[in-house]
Amino acid sequence: MTASTSNFSTRERILGVAEVLFARHGFAGASLRQVTSAAKVNLAAVNYHFGSKDGLIEEVFRRRLDELNRQRLASLAAALARPACTLEDVLDAFIRPALEQSMDSAGGAAFVRVLARAYAEHDERLRRFLADNYGHVLREFVIAFARLLPGLAREELHWRLDIVAGALTYAMADFGMIKRRQEVSEHSHRDMTIRHLIQFTAAGLRAGCAHA
Amino acid sequence: MTASTSNFSTRERILGVAEVLFARHGFAGASLRQVTSAAKVNLAAVNYHFGSKDGLIEEVFRRRLDELNRQRLASLAAALARPACTLEDVLDAFIRPALEQSMDSAGGAAFVRVLARAYAEHDERLRRFLADNYGHVLREFVIAFARLLPGLAREELHWRLDIVAGALTYAMADFGMIKRRQEVSEHSHRDMTIRHLIQFTAAGLRAGCAHA
DNA sequence: GTCTATATAAGGATAGAC
DNA sequence: GTCTATCCTTATATAGAC
């Protein structure tokens, strides 16, 4: 049981490497030859295991999204179970799992960039895929937010949640100009990001509401 | 003086088409063959006018960024000249030119997606290019925001402006899930986006400040 | 400044042996 | 399930005529 990557199956090695290379060079920019060479597997293995390059791309998404969905729904349920559940609690359930996935061992950091890139690619096929996997999760959150912001019209709430999603996506992909300083650990930098995002978006969501 | 595209020079036609195709398929995904074919110019023309594919990409950026920078600085100066300049005024100067460029005739809409994609590509070369072109504009805005939010620590302000930039980038690229309804014109949808962004981010920036 | 033609490389995918 | 070898397409770039 060494830490050598050779312990993982060909299939898993391909997925891990593809995630990193897609994040770095894009779906079109990373070739299957780069992927299979870096994963130290044969070129033909991709077609054998995933059928095509598109099949590989889809599997890269599915593997991480299943886990993220699970965590978000669990955190939301935990928040709602609390007697005095606040807007900040629900925002935390939405934001924290996404940002924490971006600091788990290696792959997660790559994946969030892949995800952000998928948005940028504006590919309708991928958007539909994401909507199918994320749709019900988002709806649960909309319900929770609506309960905590009773003074807000439904359409107004949708506009604002869209802005929250934007700020989160940007932060997940580490687009921002704020560089982590040497003396701050990656872990606490991530915590600060989460804290600032929650504080900012909570205020934005409450804008114009008497108190909430 | 017909509206035919053939009135534009080869160089301009390439730039216009490249902008649209880069937005749609990414820098790696859009080939020079697609570009020259759609622009109805010869394949070799790209290398003649821009040296290489990378040269073309850079020129696509420069053309729009110069104009956006100019507009933002002009709007900021106009806002600051007002006797009672509000936080919302400065946010408007920052946000509106960016979103308005995304609804001018055809090309602008494509460009903002190109810009968002450049962030996603995470290419250090492009980031440096953007920082060189945007840097001084952002610094001007930081100064203006700092004056309007005197209670906010400088580091806190940077965090929050980073979130503003994220929400704006997301909105510019039209990533969001809010679809414009048929009966709403593109123009007024854009205005609503601007209004919501300003309201949300103003509240977020003010979070925790006594009044401001 | 624009064309044709082509050099040269890299891409995705598959057939068939093992 | 993994390999080699190869097909076929597409890519960027350039040479040289006009």
Q: What is the pLDDT along chain B (212 residues), one digit of tens a residue?
A: 333 344 579 999 999 999 999 988 888 899 999 999 999 999 999 999 999 998 999 899 888 888 898 999 999 999 999 999 999 999 999 999 998 887 766 677 788 878 777 776 666 667 777 788 778 999 999 999 999 999 999 999 999 999 999 999 888 877 666 667 778 888 889 899 999 999 999 999 999 986 65
- Token readout for A88 is 């900040």
B75, B196, B149, B160 alpha-carbon torsion, rounded to 10°: -100
DSSP state of B43: T
A127, A130, A136, A142 alpha-carbon torsion, rounded to 10°: -60
Q: Which nucleotide is nearest to A48 (CA to C1')?
A: D1
Write down the pLDDT at residue B176.
67
Q: Which of B162, B176, B204 sits opposite A166 (nearest CB)?
A: B176
Instruction: State how far residue A31 is from chain B, nearest Cα, in angstroms.
Output: 11
- Sign of torsion over alpha carbons A33, A35, A40, A45: negative
Q: Which helix (H) or strand (E) holds B189?
A: helix B186-206
Of B107, B129, B82, B109, nearest in space to B17 by CA: B107
Quickly tell me which residue has 């460009």 as its tokens.
Answer: B111
The reply to whether B44 has its C-beta less than 7 Å from any atom of strand D is yes
Quickly tell me which residue has 């804290």 as its tokens.
Answer: A195
Question: CA-to-C1' distance for B20 and C3, Å?
Answer: 25
Quickly tell me which residue has 């709403």 as its tokens.
Answer: B184
Of A168, A161, A171, A173, nearest in space to B200 by CA: A161
Q: Is B179 left (phi over 0), alpha (psi -120 to 50) or beta?
A: beta
Q: Which of A28, A138, A206 sits opposite B203 (nearest CB)?
A: A206
Instruction: State how far residue B75 is from chain A, nearest Cα, in angstroms.
Output: 23
* C-alpha–C-alpha distance, residues A9 and A41, integer Å: 10
Instruction: State how far residue B177 is from chain A, nearest Cα, in angstroms.
Output: 7
Question: CA-to-C1' distance for B56 and D5, Å?
Answer: 38
The answer to whether A28 contacts B24, with C-beta atoms less than 8 Å apart, is: no
* C-alpha–C-alpha distance, residues A107 and B46, integer Å: 38
- The tens digit of pLDDT for each residue in A19-49 reads 999 988 889 999 999 999 999 999 999 999 9
Q: Which of A120, A163, A208 sits opposite B173 (nearest CB)?
A: A120
Is residue B22 within 8 A of residue B114, CB to CB? The reply is: yes
The answer to whether A170 contacts B175, with C-beta atoms less than 8 Å apart, is: no
* C-alpha–C-alpha distance, residues A130 and B34, integer Å: 28
